[in-house]
Chain A
Amino acid sequence: MGTVSAASAANKQEGAQSCSSGFAPAPAERVTLGALHFKEANEQVRQALDRVDDVALEDVRAQRYLGCALPAGKRLRIHGTPGNDLACFMDGGTVEVLGNAQDQVGNTMNAGEVIVHGRCGDAAGYAMRGGRVFIRDGCGWRAGIHMKAYDARQPVVVVGKDAGSFLGEYMAGGVFVVLGETGDYLARGMHGGVIYLKNPPRAGALSDEVVLSRVDDADLAVLAPLLAEYDRLFAAELGYRVSAEASEFFRVTPASSRPYASMYVR
């Protein structure tokens, strides 16, 4: 995505390198990626996943597409920095990153869970229609773009720190939670789903396509468990908890599910 924001360029290795989620048993197999080309890297990962369900990737250096189409029951634990399109088209698997992630985490993801113990780049959750993404720190621009819900599927993204501009653009469904600040052009073209913000949006960031309100009990039923999960995953490494603050959140919802209903004439 190169040109989209400077935020994604600052994808330095920072933050805790220890895993605290403790959800996965010790991975049964390790694959070291080093300087491997993504094609070879992904082939090796797939072969390892054919043998065992849990695979740890070591020395990951920005290889793209890790966890692509990963099915249910399979887990990747990534040490290093995975490249763009992490967990793209993921279909029920689990990916945990002990470091930062780059652009388009969970691109067109169907189901499963991504946990990033660090920050991520632009367009996280692009066109996601199911599953959950937990980012411990911040994210770049255009996160949650065109997320969509369908039947019982409700995609969820939780971002622990600041998010860039154009968050929730064209959002058509799902839940996006931001615990830090958000940028300009928030929720442009949003016509479904909900965005929960710990801090009020920047002045002028919202258009009249959306409605800003305080969370109510129905929201809390959705939000509180997500914050509790964020705490479970990250509180130990962050040294603070967020779930007690659920009731202070703001809610952004679309004014209409038919934003362009009266735009055209014949």
Chain B
Amino acid sequence: MIDFALPRYQVRRDAEECVGCGICVRECANGVHVARSGGTAPKADHQKCVNCLRCVLTCPTRALTITRWPQVDGGSAVWTLEYLQDIATQATSGGVLLSSMGNPLPYPVYWDHLLLNASQVTNPSIDPLREPMETRVFLGGRPVALEIDERARTLRSPLPPQVKLDVPIMFSAMSFGSVSLNTQRALAMAACELGTLFNVGEGGLHRDLERYADHAVVQVASGRFGVDPRYLNAGAMVEIKIGQGAKPGIGGHLPGEKITAEVSRTRMIPEGADAISPAPHHDIYSIEDLRQLVFSLKEATRYEKPVAVKIAAVHNAAAIASGMARAGAEVIVVDGFRGGTGAAPKRIRDNVGVPVELALAAIDQRLRDEGIRSTVSVVASGSIRSSADVVRAIALGADAVSCGSAPLIALGCHQCGDCARGRCNWGIATQRPELIERLDPDEGAERVVNLVRAWTHEIQEMMGGMGINAVDSLRGNRLMLRGVGLTDRELDILGVKHAGE
């Protein structure tokens, strides 16, 4: 039988530039570059290339370029080469197609249809370089009203636990197992430096990260990996993971080959066996049951930590969020369908869920309509690509955002989408020691800190331009947004006017 699989990329080597040093042979863990004897240029096995750019960027003479495989399809917009190849793969193996990173399909990106406002003449703009500009936010539940003893200047009503973020940008959940310890370390160090939170994901808290735990969100997912009283009490916040934007409605399988001794110790599961996160939490079948889990975590942490609940952005996200708030969730995290993942079935990643922009706007509106928006915090994630997206998300109603792909890109990820194979040439989505070594956590942390600092300056500039001097005043301030190229229905859901109005 002829193998129907075509290479996706072509590795092109400039014969004049290549000095035959062999660096590409060593750098590519996919074994694309094959050395030839006598100091001549290596040969490439195109089929294995995933376009991670490792060889391109480490080649001392810039002799390498990766291009798309030049094969054309039959010209059909329906039976594209990609569908042909997918069918061939499944016909050969009978397997479920696996993919990584976020939904790449050209669905509308609403961020790109939302323009920001700036002050002119009336309501002067503020120069953030001269004037204070508050980027600090607090996450947690809030009482409906505050009772204050005005004489003593003290609070009479008890305030639920809060976490303080110096910047409204957190790092999304990434478990040890799906990413390397050095990745988590870099994010943890960056979070401490920036005064924000990283999220250990559902794979437990590695002992080397315990010293950063006061900046950690500890996650409780259906597999309950690594969850014990010590873990729950170590973090700044506890998050119940119901769903993830990249794979709404399904659980996760971390394949046995990624369950190394260290991963097994941290997850508290056997080494080498598949780590299976069931699709549902089997103690949650309703909003009432969610309440039960929220309060079991509150009991286990003596009501000292905010409890967040994370869902994937799906059709009824607004109604679900309302239920979550009533179930005792203090932070509602909504993850859009473009959010990244270490591994998700391709058909789920590409077809299930909705854009976070719409879900976020709908959730914020619903909670406001019900008069409970002020009792909870809302966090949005799933394709926050720049400081402008952060500003848009906050104006649509988020208290803060979570970023996963962006900090990984800062660490070297080139979005090749091959994380699931565990051979990430950048030392991120891998457990292979020789690859992990490539990611220096100190250097990585510095790059992530640089990125977030730069974004924060930009956020301050944009807020200043609007005449706003605190993130708190931007939250849900949809007058600062105008839509372009959107239908009335879309504008309606987003709660924004069209540009020109």
Residues in A lying within 8 Å of B, measured CB to CB: 1-4, 38-39, 42, 46, 64-65, 68-69, 71, 84-85, 88-89, 91, 103-104, 107-108, 110, 123, 126-127, 129, 142, 145-146, 148-151, 153, 169-170, 172-173, 189, 191-192, 257-266
**Nearest-Cβ distance from residue A204 to partner chain B, whole angstroms:** 22
24 A-B residue pairs with CB within 8 Å? A2-B286, A46-B302, A68-B296, A84-B292, A88-B296, A88-B299, A89-B227, A127-B224, A127-B227, A145-B278, A146-B282, A149-B270, A150-B265, A172-B270, A172-B276, A173-B269, A192-B270, A192-B273, A257-B274, A262-B95, A263-B253, A264-B420, A266-B97, A266-B98
A151 to B268, CA, bound (A): 8
| Binary per-residue interface labels of chain B (271-301) against chain A in the complex, 1 for a CB within 8 Å, 0 otherwise | 0111110100011011011001001100110
Q: Main secondary structure on chain A at its contact with chain B?
A: loop
- Asked if B492 is at the interface of the complex by the 8 Å CB criterion, the answer is no
A107 to B264, CA, bound (A): 20
5 tightest Cβ-Cβ pairs between the two chains A and B: A265-B95, A127-B224, A257-B273, A69-B229, A264-B98
A11 to B292, CA, bound (A): 18
Are A150 and B269 interface neighbours, CB within 8 A?
yes
Residues of A within 8 A of B249 (CB): none
Instruction: Give the number of residues in B that approach A within 8 Å (Cβ atoms).
Output: 49
| Binary per-residue interface labels of chain B (322-360) against chain A in the complex, 1 for a CB within 8 Å, 0 otherwise | 000000000000000000000101000000000000000
Specify which of A46, A85, A108, A257 is in contact with B224 (CB 8 Å cutoff). A108
- Asked if B255 is at the interface of the complex by the 8 Å CB criterion, the answer is yes
Name the interface residues of B66-97: CB closer than 8 Å to any CB of A: 89-90, 92-93, 95-97
Specify which of A2, A89, A149, A261 is in contact with B300 (CB 8 Å cutoff). A89
Residues of A within 8 A of B264 (CB): 150
Given contacts A88-B296, A264-B96, A266-B421, contact A145 B274 (CB under 8 A): no
Given contacts A2-B288, A65-B296, contact A257 B269 (CB under 8 A): no
Are B224 and A258 interface neighbours, CB within 8 A?
no
A91 to B230, CA, bound (A): 9
Are B276 and A69 interface neighbours, CB within 8 A?
no
A148 to B265, CA, bound (A): 12
A69 to B12, CA, bound (A): 59
Residues of A within 8 A of B345 (CB): 264
Known: A88-B296, A123-B283. 16 other contacts (CB 8 A): A3-B285, A68-B300, A89-B232, A91-B229, A108-B224, A123-B282, A126-B282, A146-B224, A148-B269, A172-B276, A189-B278, A258-B273, A259-B274, A263-B253, A264-B95, A264-B420
Residues of B within 8 A of A1 (CB): 283, 285, 289
Residues of B within 8 A of A170 (CB): 276, 278
Given contacts A104-B283, A126-B283, A265-B93, contact A257 B270 (CB under 8 A): yes
Residue picked from B268, B272, B418, B421, most chain A C-beta under 10 Å:
B268
Q: Which residue of B lies closest to A257 (CB)?
A: B273
Residues of B within 8 A of A103 (CB): 283
**Nearest-Cβ distance from residue A49 to partner chain B, whole angstroms:** 13
A91 to B229, CA, bound (A): 7
**Nearest-Cβ distance from residue A261 to partner chain B, whole angstroms:** 7
A251 to B253, CA, bound (A): 26
**Nearest-Cβ distance from residue B91 to partner chain A, whole angstroms:** 11
A110 to B224, CA, bound (A): 11
- Asked if B143 is at the interface of the complex by the 8 Å CB criterion, the answer is no
- Asked if B223 is at the interface of the complex by the 8 Å CB criterion, the answer is yes
- Asked if B132 is at the interface of the complex by the 8 Å CB criterion, the answer is no
Are B253 and A145 interface neighbours, CB within 8 A?
no
Residue picked from B232, B270, B272, most chain A C-beta under 10 Å:
B270
Residues of A within 8 A of B89 (CB): 265
A38 to B345, CA, bound (A): 41
Residues of A within 8 A of B265 (CB): 150-151
Given contacts A89-B229, A191-B273, A257-B274, contact A64 B295 (CB under 8 A): yes
**Nearest-Cβ distance from residue B7 to partner chain A, whole angstroms:** 14
**Nearest-Cβ distance from residue A122 to partner chain B, whole angstroms:** 8
A142 to B278, CA, bound (A): 13
Residues of B within 8 A of A110 (CB): 228-229
A258 to B264, CA, bound (A): 15
- Asked if B256 is at the interface of the complex by the 8 Å CB criterion, the answer is yes
Given contacts A2-B286, A69-B229, A145-B282, contact A189 B256 (CB under 8 A): no
Are B282 and A148 interface neighbours, CB within 8 A?
no
A104 to B153, CA, bound (A): 45
A94 to B433, CA, bound (A): 42
Are A169 and B282 interface neighbours, CB within 8 A?
yes
Q: Which residue of B lies closest to A264 (CB)?
A: B98
Residue picked from B90, B275, B289, most chain A C-beta under 10 Å:
B289
Residues of B within 8 A of A264 (CB): 95-98, 343, 345, 420
Are B282 and A258 interface neighbours, CB within 8 A?
no
**Nearest-Cβ distance from residue B434 to partner chain A, whole angstroms:** 22
